[in-house]
């Protein structure tokens, strides 16, 4: 499903609410896909390295964490797992390519841990595309296609199946490249490869 100008629906209203929460949409939340909504979607797409069309297709809705709109009927459960695994694998690829396998699973686990914490969005897509949260989104690496047989896909699967080498951590950073002073206020629980994992 895609949402585009001229549509009026509860799904458009949901999207407007998210765009407003993130500061992209300044209009009235009325469920009508007018020019204000169109411009807000374009701004969101540009900021998140999604092709800028102003139309909220699969990639845009997935990035917003509105996966329920992208799925339907029998494909719902199966489609969700496939897209979650694929998205998680792309995030791991962008954030932890070249890290030891355990470190790749750990990055996936941090993303999943955030979905269970009230301070973060409830979906994998919502966590990954939370503005400013991950370098892989801001530099566009999240959009790099990956080989279905690569270790990052296996790492995503292991994380989704419950392996958490971090024991519940919500943050990770590379001490050699971290620019945020705030991140150093986190308690380091474990170091795997080049990343510190903390709470």
Domain locations in the chain as residue ranges? 10-70, 76-198
Cα distances from 198 to residues 75, 109, 110, in angstroms, run 36, 12, 9
CATH T-level assignment (fold) for domain 10-70: Muramoyl-pentapeptide Carboxypeptidase; domain 1 (1.10.101)
Share of the chain above pLDDT 90, in %: 60
The two tokens of residue 41 are: 């979607």
Residue 160 predicted with pLDDT over 90: yes
Which residues touch 1 (CB under 8 Å, ≥6 apart)? 11, 61, 69, 70, 72
- pLDDT given at position 178: 85
Which residues touch 133 (CB under 8 Å, ≥6 apart)? 127
CATH architecture of the domain 76-198 equals Orthogonal Bundle (1.10)
CB 41 within 8 A of CB 90: no
Hey, how many other C-beta atoms are within 10 angstroms of the C-beta on 63?
21
User: What is the average per-residue pLDDT within 134-157?
Assistant: 87
**Binning pLDDT at 50, 70 and 90, where does residue 69 land?**
low
What whole-number distance in Å separates Cα of residue 155 and Cα of residue 157? Answer: 5
- pLDDT given at position 68: 65
| Secondary structure class of 6 (helix, strand, coil) | coil
User: What is the average per-residue pLDDT within 19-33?
Assistant: 92
- pLDDT given at position 27: 93
What whole-number distance in Å separates Cα of residue 192 and Cα of residue 100? Answer: 8
- pLDDT given at position 82: 44
Q: Mean pLDDT for the chain?
A: 87
Quick: pLDDT tens for 85-123: 889 999 999 999 999 999 999 999 999 999 999 999 889
Q: pTM, whole model, 2 decimals?
A: 0.63
**Binning pLDDT at 50, 70 and 90, where does residue 78 land?**
very low
Residue 73 predicted with pLDDT over 50: no
Residue 143 predicted with pLDDT over 90: no
User: What is the average per-residue pLDDT within 158-187?
Assistant: 93
- pLDDT given at position 63: 84
User: What is the average per-residue pLDDT within 126-138?
Assistant: 87
């Amino acid at each position: 499903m895609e949402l585009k100008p001229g549509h009026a629906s509860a799904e458009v209203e949901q999207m407007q609410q998210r765009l407003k929460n993130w500061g992209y949409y300044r209009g009235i939340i009325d469920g009508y896909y007018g020019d204000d909504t169109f411009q807000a979607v374009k701004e969101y797409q540009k900021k998140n390295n999604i092709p800028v069309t102003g139309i909220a297709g699969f990639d845009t809705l997935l990035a917003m964490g509105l996966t329920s709109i992208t799925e339907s009927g029998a494909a719902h459960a199966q489609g969700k797992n496939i897209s979650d695994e694929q998205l998680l694998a792309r995030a791991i690829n962008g954030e932890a390519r070249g890290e030891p396998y355990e470190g790749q699973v750990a990055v996936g686990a941090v993303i999943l841990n955030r979905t269970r914490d009230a301070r973060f969005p409830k979906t994998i897509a919502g966590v990954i595309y939370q503005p400013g949260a991950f370098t892989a989104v801001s530099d566009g690496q999240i959009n790099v296609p990956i080989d279905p047989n690569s270790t990052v896909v296996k790492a995503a699967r292991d994380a989704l199946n419950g392996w958490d080498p971090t024991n519940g951590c919500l943050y990770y950073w590379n001490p050699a490249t971290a620019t945020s002073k705030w991140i150093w206020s986190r308690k380091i629980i474990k170091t795997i490869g080049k990343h510190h994992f903390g709470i």
